Amino acid sequence: MQQQESRTSSYTTLAAGPDFRLEIEIKRSRFITVLRRTETEDGARALVADLRREFNDARHHCSAFVLGPDRGVQRSSDDGEPSGTAGIPMLETLLRRETAPGVTDVSDVSAVVVRYFGGVLLGAGGLVRAYSESVSAALEIAPLVQRRRLRLCAVRVPHAAAGRLENDLRAAGYVMAETGYEPQSTVLRLALPDSPDVLADASERLAAMTAGSVDLEPEGTDWVDRPLPR
């Protein structure tokens, strides 16, 4: 997915790390929700395949996923449940999850709900509520982050000065991206809002920190994880 195709500069997704899991029981049926951060359809389908192998005796492995900064890819599967009672409610729960008042922007998330039937029929309405509740409950406590498209800028400094300057930049509130190393210098990278005013201000502050000995070098844009605003 190319950045230039995106019309948005931020969205909410799962924090990087292992799958998030939550199990609830409804009328003796077990509903095991697994959330995974995925950026491709192949990655989303891999989650379903993984869980089919792990829970090979379960009756259903229902799924839904939303992909892309603009949430342009949306899919769901009832996996044997009555049509419209599992996958679509799961997908709607992902799409309607508010991450701030009036903001619904969850994406790059795949959800699979593994169901072990407990012998009590839930009916169509009960299934819709159960699958919706399973995903909603997982999203409420899963670790979420804001993913923002930011301008990356490099700062090349002698190795001996890199640690102190990085600490100063962090203390000033700058978001640091991946550090690189060259024979004569360490390459610190700042992730900044893509605005001329912000870049100009960062250049001035960097000059003040280093007595004008280093420059800020724009390198392009990338998606960077940030804590959700509180």
- Cα angle 109, 103, 45 (rounded to 5 degrees) comes to 10
Of 127, 142, 157, the residue at which a domain comes to its end is: 142
Per-residue pLDDT of 141-180, as tens digits, reads 999 999 999 999 999 999 999 999 999 999 999 989 899 9
Together in a domain, 154 and 73: no
Distance CA 126, CA 217 (A): 57
Distance, in Å, from the CA atom of 209 to the CA atom of 201, rounded to the nearest integer, reads 12
Cα three-residue angle 133-136-138, rounded to 5 degrees: 110
Whichever domain contains 61, its CATH number is 3.30.230.30
pLDDT of residue 2: 38
Residues 138 and 154 in one domain: no
Regarding whether 77 and 42 lie in a shared domain, the answer is yes
pLDDT per position as a tens digit, 83-121:
999 999 999 999 999 999 999 999 999 999 999 999 999
Are residues 159 and 109 both part of a single domain?
A: no
208 and 100 housed in the same domain? no
Q: Which of 142, 163, 194 is the last residue of a domain?
A: 142
Query: What residue numbers bound the domain in which 73 lies?
Result: 3-142
Q: Are residues 114 and 8 in the same domain?
A: yes
Q: Do residues 126 and 194 make contact, with C-beta atoms less than 8 angstroms apart?
A: no
Same domain, 19 and 93: yes
Are 134 and 200 in the same domain?
Answer: no
Q: Which of 94, 124, 142 is the last residue of a domain?
A: 142
Tens of pLDDT, residue by residue over 177-221, are 899 999 999 999 999 988 889 999 999 999 999 999 999 999 988
Indicate whether 126 and 21 sit together in one domain. yes
Q: Count CB-CB contacts under 10 A for residue 91.
A: 22
Answer yes or no: do 75 and 127 share one domain: yes
CB atoms under 10 Å from CB of 226, counted, come to: 13
Q: What total number of domains does the chain contain?
A: 2
Contacts of 60 (CB under 8 A, 6+ apart): 79, 80, 81, 86, 113, 114, 115, 117
Residues 123 and 104 in one domain: yes
This prediction's pTM: 0.82
Smallest Cα–Cα separation from 144: which of 42, 35, 31, 30? Answer: 35
Do 126 and 20 fall within a single domain? yes
Read off the CATH number of the domain in which 176 is found. 3.30.70.240
> How much is the pLDDT for 4?
44
